[in-house]
Structure 1
Amino acid sequence: MKLLVIGSGGREHAIVWKMSQNPKVTKIYACPGNAGTQSISICENIELINIDDIIEFAKKENIELTILGSEELLVAGIVDKFKENGLVAFGPHKAAAILEGSKAFAKEFMLKYGIKTAAYKKFDNYKAAKKYLEEIEYPTVIKASGLAAGKGVIICETKENAETAVKEIMLDKKFGDSGNEIVIEEFLTGVEASILSIYDGKTILPFISAKDHKKIGENETGLNTGGMGVIAPNPYVTNEVLDKFNKDILEPTLKGLKEENLKFCGFIFFGLMINEKGVYLLEYNMRMGDPETQAILPLMKSDFVDIIIAAQNQKLNEIEVEWEEKNSCCVVAVSGGYPEAYEKGYEIKNIENIDNLLFLAGAKNNDNKIVTNGGRVLNIVAIGDALDIARKKAYNDIEKVDFKKKYFRRDIGIVK
């Protein structure tokens, strides 16, 4: 098999790493990939920007399966265009991708199908949104409705904070056109959880749970990021929580997808909040999560490509995914200044001394050196029989890695 993976992050490095273990896979292309995908012997990085060029390449090289990490391309309808050209892209068609592409649409879908979620209102008018801030309780959550690279969610402790957030999103265009419409949402307290799943149009098959750490600062302080680290499985996701997830979220989601004719073969990411009132759905992503993928795939005993093929054949109801009975801890090293302004081009040293898994993200090869090329630079992933063992191994390794202005959180996986 010849495969294509679209994206350039740690998620894509992890996906290529896992897929390369299937003996039927002879060649993988990463578009554009990074220094990590380039280091895998059967993988070649390619530089293609627009959908038409990607399609022409996939045709020419007889690509049998394409995996997408890019939410922008999904929302732009790349899966539909692949299908029109007789190609297979594993992901939602344009009509289903809007569940990630528009938080307002996703909330309406949740409400329509009785999916447990926080109360909300949506606005495309700045003055109306600002007036609504006088009527609600605080804290509250302000979300840019469109895609914002995981950073378009602001928790506002006061009315003044909320007014600033609404102005920055809607008038100052902090997140570009993603903020043309916003969602103002009830603030939920509790513990967050991520459940990645695979969908074949008939069945949603959940993977093991994970716990992401979104904020830049320790103890979940500061700005939202694309993810500073993750552990799997999530210690707060008990059998009771899974039962509530299935009943209040997964089953009504499946019902809604079928009734709205949003049938596709791909991944669905459920972002959850767990508290004393139950399990709430915060958001959908229509692809593998980052950095959750980096923590989950190393625990997957089953073959990842075979699972995807089962989904393509609508046979997920016939398989069971096997998992290592262990824990993983992923710690992300970022460029100083992220998630706002940061510098690139610093050499990354000592990665040859790492004992555990390394998934590169914002890193590229430059004159036979690996240099920083993004905000989230790399992921160290360690596996242990217990979470504290995995944490210790991951932190031992991340201390070894050296690049100018390196920053990482020191509290990933601390369970209180």
Structure 2
Amino acid sequence: MRFLGIGDYNDLGAMYYGLARRGHEVRVCVANPAYRDVYGGMLDFTADWQAELGWLREAGEDGIALFESATQGQTQDALRREGFQVIGGSAFGDRLEADRAFGQQVLQGFGLRLAVTHGFTAYAPALDFLRRKGGRYVLKFNGADNPRTRNYIGELDDASDMLALLATYAAYPGTREQPDFVLMEFVQGVEAGVGAYFNGSEFLSPACLDFEHKRFFTGELGELTGEMGTIVSYRGSDKLFAASLAKMAPLLREGGYCGYINLNMIVNEEGLWPLEFTSRFGYPGFAICEALHEEAWDRIFRRMLRKDGLQVATRAGYAAGVVLTVPPFPYTHGYDELSKGAPLSFRPGMTAADHAALYYAEVERRGGHLVTSGSTGYVGVATGTGDTVGAARDAAYALARQVVLPNLRYRTDIGERVERSDLRRLAEWGWL
């Protein structure tokens, strides 16, 4: 088969590499120049993905375009109208992720509970609102390409911490364009996500249940990086999926969506409180999910496009993923001086199965050796599986300790909260 990967950062590099190693033809276009060395010496690259469309069309049903981001949905829709096979998302999916108020409005139409959300395109009215109302809110910037580190979860009931932050953003806007953000009422509970593959008409089963750990440091301290590690399972998601994401099928069908989609939620004794959509492959979510797959991506993609089956072969139990980074992650400033080009080594006894469970991100092969590349120090994710969360976590950390790299950092508590309380609370509330 032929695969054309299209994105800004080569986020699906590990997937492309796996497809190439299984004998498929893979070409990748990386739009951001700072990431064009990611998987250098390991994949074939093209500077212009549109120039490869003829090559892709020649493969017929065996030619697939893979889009990584939630910013090119209109392009994907246009390619589908021209007869190309595309997996990624759609214009409708882009809007679900980028426009938080729109996503919430859609979910409200299905009767889901919503945390009260207020949208703003300037700091002054947001500051005035907080002075009048007070309370705890979550700050989230709209747009799929906004840095997660600018988001903030308010901690003080009088909103003084959020007021101070927004006042700082207003006073020092830098070179950023007009702000576009929401203040969402803080809701206490278990944060969990459900995701599934949509083939343009229907969802494939089973859906995935995930528990992300978004802060940089152990103990839920530090920046909101997006994801420092996750626990996933393809078992136990049925009730949560049916009550939330499954309701989206008619709208996704109408919007021409084809790809993976995830809905993140807060779950408590009152019910489900949806937070946001991820209308694309999650990073490193796709790699952690793959650890539980019993069939390769090419077979899953072929089934989605041909619509000749609605099942994905998966293993029971759990997968844990631990994100490996080097300084200055989650930022880019100083990466060239601090960490770029650092060599990866491995402790004795590293097996072929261990290597297969390690999914690289910003690395390249130089002179026969793997070194760090890219722009942020996101080295990859170590995965492990097991019948329990604890067993999966232990396997992932055993693998992480096999990696030797100057200034390597990772959280040491991925999955502890899930095992200690999250699963129990979801069961008590009747969701598991």
Counterpart residue number, 1:27: 25
1:295/1:264 Cα in 2 relative to 1: closer, same or farther (>3 Å)? same
Shift of 1:398: 1.7
Counterpart residue number, 2:54: 59
Counterpart residue number, 2:107: 110
What is the CA–CA distance in structure 1 between the aligned matches of 2:46 and 2:173, rounded to whole Å?
A: 30
**Corresponding residue to 1:309 among 302, 310, 321:** 302
* Residue type of the alignment partner of 1:106: G
Q: Does 1:291 align with 2:288?
A: no
* Residue type of the alignment partner of 2:242: N
* Residue type of the alignment partner of 1:279: L
TM (norm. structure 1) is 0.84
Counterpart residue number, 1:218: 218
Is the Cα contact below 8 Å between 1:331 and 1:380 reproduced in 2? Answer: yes
What is the CA–CA distance in structure 1 between the aligned matches of 2:250 and 2:134, rounded to whole Å?
A: 33
What is the CA–CA distance in structure 1 between the aligned matches of 2:306 and 2:286, rounded to whole Å?
A: 23
Counterpart residue number, 1:154: 152
RMSD across aligned positions (CA): 3.0
Shift of 1:116: 3.2
1:228 is paired with a residue of what secondary structure?
strand
Unaligned runs of 5+ in 1: none
Is the Cα contact below 8 Å between 1:124 and 1:182 reproduced in 2? Answer: yes
What is the CA–CA distance in structure 1 between the aligned matches of 2:347 and 2:7, rounded to whole Å?
A: 24
What is the CA–CA distance in structure 1 between the aligned matches of 2:167 and 2:377, rounded to whole Å?
A: 25
What is the CA–CA distance in structure 1 between the aligned matches of 2:321 and 2:155, rounded to whole Å?
A: 30
Shift of 1:39: 7.3
What is the CA–CA distance in structure 1 between the aligned matches of 2:231 and 2:279, rounded to whole Å?
A: 21
1:149/1:305 Cα in 2 relative to 1: closer, same or farther (>3 Å)? farther
What is the CA–CA distance in structure 1 between the aligned matches of 2:20 and 2:113, rounded to whole Å?
A: 38
1:371/1:231 Cα in 2 relative to 1: closer, same or farther (>3 Å)? same
What is the CA–CA distance in structure 2 between the aligned matches of 1:197 and 1:170, rounded to whole Å?
A: 39
**Corresponding residue to 1:336 among 327, 330, 342:** 327
What is the CA–CA distance in structure 1 between the aligned matches of 2:400 and 2:219, rounded to whole Å?
A: 19
Counterpart residue number, 2:425: none
Shift of 1:121: 1.1
1:122 is paired with a residue of what secondary structure?
strand
Is the Cα contact below 8 Å between 2:209 and 2:236 reproduced in 1? Answer: no
Is the Cα contact below 8 Å between 1:31 and 1:47 reproduced in 2? Answer: yes
What is the CA–CA distance in structure 2 between the aligned matches of 1:11 and 1:352, rounded to whole Å?
A: 27
Counterpart residue number, 1:350: 345
Q: Does 1:83 align with 2:74?
A: no
* Residue type of the alignment partner of 1:194: G
* Residue type of the alignment partner of 1:201: G
* Residue type of the alignment partner of 1:4: L
1:134/1:272 Cα in 2 relative to 1: closer, same or farther (>3 Å)? same
Shift of 1:287: 0.7
Unaligned runs of 5+ in 2: 421-432
**136-145 vs 216-225, greater mean Cα deviation:** 136-145
2:162 is paired with a residue of what secondary structure?
helix
2:195 is paired with a residue of what secondary structure?
strand
Shift of 1:254: 2.6
Q: Deviations over 1:174-202 (max 9, x none)?
A: 7944x621111011222222322111333
What is the CA–CA distance in structure 2 between the aligned matches of 1:19 and 1:207, rounded to whole Å?
A: 23
What is the CA–CA distance in structure 2 between the aligned matches of 1:80 and 1:133, rounded to whole Å?
A: 40
* Residue type of the alignment partner of 1:13: G
* Residue type of the alignment partner of 1:295: I
Shift of 1:224: 0.5
Q: 1:15-414 alignment to 2 at 5 Å?
A: 15-16=15-16, 19=19, 26-32=24-30, 44-48=43-47, 53-61=48-56, 62=58, 64-74=63-73, 77-83=74-80, 85-147=82-144, 148-158=146-156, 159-167=159-167, 172-173=172-173, 176-177=176-177, 180-205=179-204, 206-233=206-233, 238=236, 242-247=238-243, 249-257=244-252, 261-315=254-308, 318-340=309-331, 341-344=333-336, 345-351=340-346, 353=348, 354-355=350-351, 356=354, 357-373=357-373, 374-414=376-416
Counterpart residue number, 1:5: 5
* Residue type of the alignment partner of 1:190: G
TM (norm. structure 2) is 0.81
* Residue type of the alignment partner of 1:109: V
